[in-house]
Amino acid sequence: MHPIVECVPNFSEGRRPEVVAQIVEAIRSVADVRVLDVESDADHNRSVITFIGPPHAVEEAAFRAAARAAQLIDMEQHRGEHPRMGATDVIPFVPAREVTMADCVAMARRVGRRLGEELGIPVYLYEEAATRETRRNLADVRRGEYEGIKAEIATNPEREPDFGPRQLGPAGATAVGARPFLIAYNVNLATTNLEVARAIAKAVRHSSGGLRYVKALGLGIKERGIVQVSMNMTNYEGTPLHRAFEMVKREAARYGVNVASSEIVGLAPQAALLQAAEFCLQLENFQPAQILENRLAESPQDQPAAQMAGFLDAVAAGTPTPGGGSVAALAGALGAALEMMVANLTLGRKKYAAVEADMESIRARAQALRSELAGLVARDSAAYEQVMAAYRLPKDAPEREGTIQAALLGAAEVPLTVAEKALEVIELAAITASKGNPNATSDAVVGAYMARAAVDGAALNVRTNLTRMTDASRAHELRRRVDEIQSRAQGVVTSIESRLNF
């Protein structure tokens, strides 16, 4: 199994989805990284993004996200209910699988140094990565927020950052650290009295005598006309969610206030929710093996071979989707996987040290292409289903023709994207076949053949949809592009075969 790190950066933007989308895209631009969740809150004016991946990829994604946020978020203009000090307010690294806390501490320090040196952002290391005990607690690091830190950073020794300049620009400062898994859990109260929420938060949080492993703040949610006890559960086994909920509920009752609801921000371990279920339902001798999904996960039906068999069954069935376009995308993804395989078989061997950098680059790009083409398998089916839905509209419906044309365009653009990505795979194959481990040359060429099949299949689907388009200019441009891609693909494959004497 490969090592996995979780990263849950918080950004000081929750009201402009286009900005959040650009930050997410910066994270997704790194190969091997998978975005699991994006949560934005307009009242807090804050977004929390959860992503995972191998340590080197997660480091790079965290840096790219912070760099993008620094370009898009101005802390001089930022206002929100949640405490904050920077465009990228906090970057925690969490060990998820085959990674130690020490590994995450090292990651935090490397990323912190890059933010300070390359972006000029003051960085404070916190939690397990903290360089001084007074900075372990994020609330202590962030005290005074952006405005307070800006006023003191140049003169107060306690505000001197671990990395970066002793001055705050529009991107503010960032806390970077390593910590165990944390659950962000909020309980909403049916009142507008902020003092009640603050009093309950004080009673609940550990630092003022409340529950162990709970940090809490009282916040106002103006748009909803309520207040909130916002909690970070730093050890859900030591203090389970239901215990925090019950304490908030009892404290609220003292003020004649009801609990309106509660919410989890981001992701939570299944075990934390099972604890709450056992408590609320008073279950006896309950075991995780009694959960249907857990048993299904153990089933052979969840294995890769069975999943592939399921896809083949779906293709073979008497339904229009998945069809040739989806199969073409899958062929491209398989080709990318083979180029990644050849790169992996070349990396780390002394005799191929001269091409190490080339193979690292190819592996990263092949991984990204594999993921993109795999996603296009489903997108192609969805695009064709839109076409079928458009044709099912009543023939006298005024919107029918416009809907059909829009659907046809979408159904042409998806396979065009497949062709473009598959051409990139063929171009990677030209390098792996000539520079990669010669024992895997045939695998590199098979990858090229699979990608060429993807190009040819996708091109056929593009042309099929263009025949019914009424926008002749747009159809001509798409046909020109796919013709060019197909010609280039065949040229590269022929070059590979000629060079290798195939």
What residues are labeled active site? 82, 380
**Distances in whole angstroms, Cα of residue 339 to Cα of each of 30, 364, 427, 498:** 18, 10, 10, 19
Q: Rounded to whole angstroms, how far apart are CA atoms 491 and 452?
A: 10
Which residue, 481, 458, 448, is CA-closest to 366?
A: 448
Tokens of 102: 């020490």
- Give the span between the Cα atoms of 321 and 324, in whole angstroms: 8
8 A C-beta contact, residue 404 and residue 412: no
The pair phi, psi for residue 7, each rounded to 5°, is -130, 135
| Amino acid at site 110 | R
Residue 57 to residues 3, 63, 116, 416, Cα–Cα distance (Å): 11, 10, 19, 29
Task: Give the angle subtended at the CA of 355 by the CAs of 107 and 442, to the nearest 5°.
Answer: 115
The residue written with tokens 């934390």 in the block is 272
Q: Report the run of H or E that residue 462 belongs to, with start and end.
A: helix 441-466
CA 420 to chain centre: 24
Question: Where is 195: in which H helix or E strand?
Answer: helix 194-204
Q: How far is CA 345 from CA 98, 435, 444, in A?
A: 22, 12, 11
Q: Which stretches within 392-440 are classed as H helix?
A: 400-435
- Three-class SS of residue 94? strand
Interior CA angle at 35 toward 30 and 40, to 5°?
Answer: 120
**DSSP character string of 106-162:** HHHHHHHHHHHHHH---EEEEETT-SSGGGSSHHHHTTTHHHHHHHHTTT-GGG--S
Could you say which DSSP state residue 209 is in? T
Q: Residue 301, SS3?
A: helix
Q: Name the token pair of 266.
A: 């981001």
**Rounded Cα distance, 91 and 81, in Å:** 19
- Going by the DSSP 8-state scheme, the letter that residue 207 receives in this structure is G
Q: Comparing C-alpha atoms, which of 276, 204, 206, 261 is closest to residue 228?
A: 261
Neighbours of 83 (CB within 10 A): 18
Closest to 197 (Cα-Cα) out of 221, 213, 224: 221
Can you give the length of the chain in residues?
Answer: 502
Q: Quote the CA–CA distance of 243 and 276 in Å, as a whole number.
A: 8
